[in-house]
Amino acid sequence: MFAALAKGKSEISGILAGEDVKSTARVLRQLGAEITGVRDGARVTVHTSRFTPPASRLHCGNSGTTTRLLLGILAGKRIRATLTGDASLRRRPMRRVTDPLRAMGARITESEGGTLPASLRGGRLGAIEHVSPVASAQVKSALLLAGLTAGVAVTVREPQASRDHTERMLRWLGEDIRRQTSDVSQPSAVSYQPSANQIREFSLAVPGDPSSAAFLVALAVLAEGGELRIQNVGMNPGRTGFLPVLARMGAPVEVTNVREVGPEPVADLIVKPARLRGTTIVATEVPSLVDEVPILAVLAGRAAGETVFRGVGELRVKESDRLEMIARNLRAVGVDAEASGDDLQVRGSDAPARGSVDTAKDHRLAMAFAVLGTTSGADVRLSERKSVSVSYPGFFQDVRRIGRASRHRD
């Protein structure tokens, strides 16, 4: 998205060839960007000109990030567009983004209930100081991008600081971004002119996704022996809250070779098997590990004692009611678990995990319970596997490759 807003040609390596990224590239092409193919190992080149009105609906697939950030970008442009997505995405709430964008002056109409499809007419916007009831990087990013493309000031106040990839990227590109505790402000977007692309072109190597790496970390923690090194993992503090939780559970992960790549910190992780114990995850920790709750819950199912997740109600409006599905599927494989309100309680068990898991076509549920299925004596049957292509297309190949390496070592 930043490359599509930049002047000239930008190059991106290390890009994830998942369905969400492909959906983003597809809709940006509909808006006039020239983007080479998104494939594993490919260097993606983005040439841009002015955004142009799309000839058809912008289909965002399963990607809430694509949808919400694109709403922000288009709000500041004189373009009419309609955004839609697959059945799962069309159930997800959009008003937390569209309401503040409307307050800035964008004209947006959603379906009944505040969901997709949503029709937008962008243009002249006003400045905003938005107090967000939840810590949401997608809401914050949408508003910052709207301020960027419209050339107006934006301040977002959150109850806790959410992940900050957008702010880091804007700052790296020369924008004036200021942070004070959980407040982020973009005083003015004077370097960007709505009539022409003015962000500088760039070349960037994208580090490995920490949310994807978390499944491999868990795989190694639950293994019976060996050591796993995961290279080139993004270490943004807003994305690595699962690491201190693992340390409390008795599975410290060694972080080595720390360095900076573009606007982000990067490191290698070294993971060994560990005996786990229960812990409590409090609400203030959740923004930095919200995507890792499914795999942490699976690990909690193998830990001694009880693990409690507080304030994880946001999971009820993910690709599925992820909170309820975690508890239901843990029970299906023999683990005592309950979702109540915004909390989740899991009581660990040594018994082999056996049973059928309904993934609800949710990629993180599929991967989390697949990891559980690698443990000794387990027989975990997934309702489907295709959903993992959204965020980690090579997941099952990597799991098999790690398993073969472990057997070869033995």
Q: Please, are residues 9 and 201 in contact by the beta-carbon 8 Å criterion?
A: yes
Q: Which of 291, 358, 362, 379 is catalytic?
A: 291
The 10s digit of each residue's pLDDT in 328-352 is 999 999 999 999 999 999 999 999 9
Q: Please, are residues 380 and 355 in contact by the beta-carbon 8 Å criterion?
A: yes
The SS3 of residue 188 is: coil
Tokens 């000839």 label which residue? 55
- Quote the CA–CA distance of 380 and 290 in Å, as a whole number: 24
pLDDT-based confidence at residue 278 (cuts at 50, 70, 90): very high
pLDDT above 60 for 238: yes
* Contacts with 397 (C-beta within 8 Å, 6 or more apart), sequence order: none
Residue type, 238: G
In this prediction, residue 307 carries a pLDDT of: 98
231 sits in which H/E element = strand 228-234
The 10s digit of each residue's pLDDT in 74-129 is 999 999 999 999 999 999 999 999 999 999 999 999 998 899 999 999 989 999 99
* Contacts with 52 (C-beta within 8 Å, 6 or more apart), sequence order: 31, 32, 79
The SS3 of residue 157 is: strand
40 is catalytic: no
* Contacts with 82 (C-beta within 8 Å, 6 or more apart), sequence order: 57, 58, 117, 118, 119, 120
**Cα 245 to chain center, whole Å?**
19
Q: How high is the mean pLDDT of the chain?
A: 94
Of 253, 247, 255, the residue nearest 276 (C-alpha): 247
Mean pLDDT of 18-29: 96
Q: Which residue has better confidence, 364 or 196?
A: 364
Q: Which residues pair with 156 in a beta bridge?
A: 130, 184
In this prediction, residue 409 carries a pLDDT of: 58
In this prediction, residue 405 carries a pLDDT of: 75
Give alpha helix (H) positions in 31-131: 64-75, 95-104
Q: Please, are residues 182 and 157 in contact by the beta-carbon 8 Å criterion?
A: yes
Q: Is the peptide bond before 273 cis (omega within 30 degrees of 0)?
A: no
pLDDT above 50 for 305: yes
Q: Which residues pair with 306 in a beta bridge?
A: 347
Cross-sheet strand order for the sheet of 183-186? 128-131, 154-157, 183-186, 178-180
In this prediction, residue 408 carries a pLDDT of: 57
The 10s digit of each residue's pLDDT in 166-224 is 999 999 999 999 999 999 999 875 545 544 446 889 999 999 999 999 999 999 999 99
pLDDT above 80 for 158: yes
Tokens 């995961």 label which residue? 230
Cross-sheet strand order for the sheet of 107-111? 58-59, 80-84, 115-121, 107-111
